[in-house]
Amino acid sequence: MTKLGAALLVVALAGFARTPARAAPGQVSREEPGPAQKENFSAERAEFAGELRKAVEDYLGPQMPQIVADWRLVKMGGIEHETPPKDYEAYRIAPGGSTNSGDRRTIVVEFLSNDKVIKRTSLNCVIEMHARAVVAKRDVPRGATITPDMVEVAGVLVDSPPSELYGGTEDVVGRVAERNIQSGKVVRKSLVGRGVDVKAGDLVVIVAKSDAVQLTVRGIARKEGVIGEMIPVVNLRSNKRLLAKIVEAGTVRVDF
């Protein structure tokens, strides 16, 4: 037998000598390609690309923010040129990076043999996300306090960080627009601020409370604030200055 014939025989026998390894939890097992697949390399690569795409979708699904109603994997850059190593037994998906909006993510694929990583490759994924979020029903000028008739919930394409979106109008009503918001635009958290619950000079009810006694008296706020903040107030009966906590609009509390 010639050297060339012997070499071809070794290669042929090598294909039958290997047996598929069992994948560890969280990994994807590799099935050895048959002779027909070896002869059609492009078909094998296409089959692997489809399998890997499904694995990436299964990996990304549980990570989608709650506000995202629907999503799809638009593209996996690099997969069309990816060739898995011949001697891998399993592969696993690992996190890479993400843009602030979350629509572009890098996924790392690690190929393993004998529980050791023998190759790493990165895939650039483009994701399209849709959500039910608060949008402006009409133009909202800067400085305006948002009222129920100004906003509604609608389906939107997510083009900003999902954490910037409001899922219900009750989360927006009463807040103040810090920028002009055009009709139909998503009301993002960065566009609005929390409206004050008490303004400086407002008449307020001062509740003085202990374990056994609760007294109420009228007063004047000397500083604006929101619920939960401490502000100075003046007791109109005694003319004393007190530090009180805003518990609701127009009401403050002093503990003693």
Query: pLDDT (tens digit, 9 = 90+) per residue, 83-137?
Result: 788 888 999 998 888 777 778 889 899 999 999 999 998 889 999 999 999 999 9
- Report the distance separating Cα 174 and Cα 201, nearest Å: 20
pLDDT at 155: 96
Neighbours of 57 (CB within 10 A): 15
Pick the more confident residue, 38 or 198. 198
Residue 197 φ then ψ, to 5° = -90, -25
Does pTM surpass 0.85? no
Mean pLDDT of 218-226: 93
pLDDT at 35: 52
Mean pLDDT of 56-78: 91
pLDDT at 233: 97
The three-state secondary structure class of 169 is helix
Q: Binning pLDDT at 50, 70 and 90, where does residue 240 land? A: very high
- Report the distance separating Cα 226 and Cα 217, nearest Å: 20
144-197: per-residue pLDDT in tens? 989 999 999 999 999 888 999 999 999 999 889 999 999 999 999 999 988 788
Using alpha carbons only, give the angle 6, 7, 9 rounded to the nearest 5 degrees.
Answer: 65
> Encoding tokens for residue 15?
């294909």
